Amino acid sequence: MDFDEGGRQLAGLILEAASGGQHDQVAELIAPLDAEQLRSLVTMLAVQVDQSAPSSSAAGPAAVCELAIKTAAPMFGTTPEAIRSAERSRPVSDARAVAMTAAREVGLSMPVIAEHFDKDHASVIHAVRRTAERPRLADAAARVTAHVNDRYDAQLSRPETTVAPPPPAGLNVRA
């Protein structure tokens, strides 16, 4: 199955069936899929659900963190509310670590991420390290990061690093 076009169509059918409460039809649609196809489908569903939500005009840190949370949650079978909670079950902590890592990779500072997740910056450091050490989490973080970048690329203008010009010749400046 070509998950570029066919996957989008399947995701649309699943969203339509799910919104109509037709859970048996959803089960029939996903039954023939293997694990990798299901992962791709979950990502596509998250994208489609996110695209159907009203777009915010600003891409501030809170919007970036929320998008990372909403994208990571279905990948691990959990909810955004659980990610924001103090729950420590494996699926929730993995989803939280992936969302924190994606927010970091997009360019948010650790203190800003920590504040949004109601954690301290050491928790963010731990989440980023844990994600890097586990290929499954690193892959999920890369997909969440790509989604956040795709969504906010135009709005997340990162300032270029500027260097102060050297002092004029002949000016005695002590370092």
Instruction: Please check whether residue 167 lies inside any domain of the structure.
Output: no
pLDDT of residue 162: 41
pLDDT of residue 169: 58
Residue 9's alpha-carbon distances to 19, 52, 70, 146, in angstroms, are: 15, 15, 21, 21
> Do residues 145 and 98 share a domain?
yes
Instruction: Please check whether residue 87 lies inside any domain of the structure.
Output: yes
Q: Which domain holds residue 70?
A: 56-155
**pLDDT tens per residue, the chain (175 residues)?**
445 677 778 887 887 877 777 888 888 988 998 888 888 888 777 766 666 554 544 568 999 999 999 999 999 999 999 999 999 999 999 999 999 999 999 999 999 999 999 999 999 999 999 999 999 999 999 999 999 998 876 454 444 444 445 555 555 545 4
Instruction: Please check whether residue 172 lies inside any domain of the structure.
Output: no
C-alpha 13/C-alpha 9 separation (Å) is 6
Of the candidates 55, 50, 113, the one whose C-alpha atom is nearest the C-alpha of residue 84 is: 113
Question: Token match 């494996």: residue?
Answer: 90
pLDDT of residue 36: 86
Kindly report the length of the chain.
175
Q: How many domains does the chain have?
A: 2
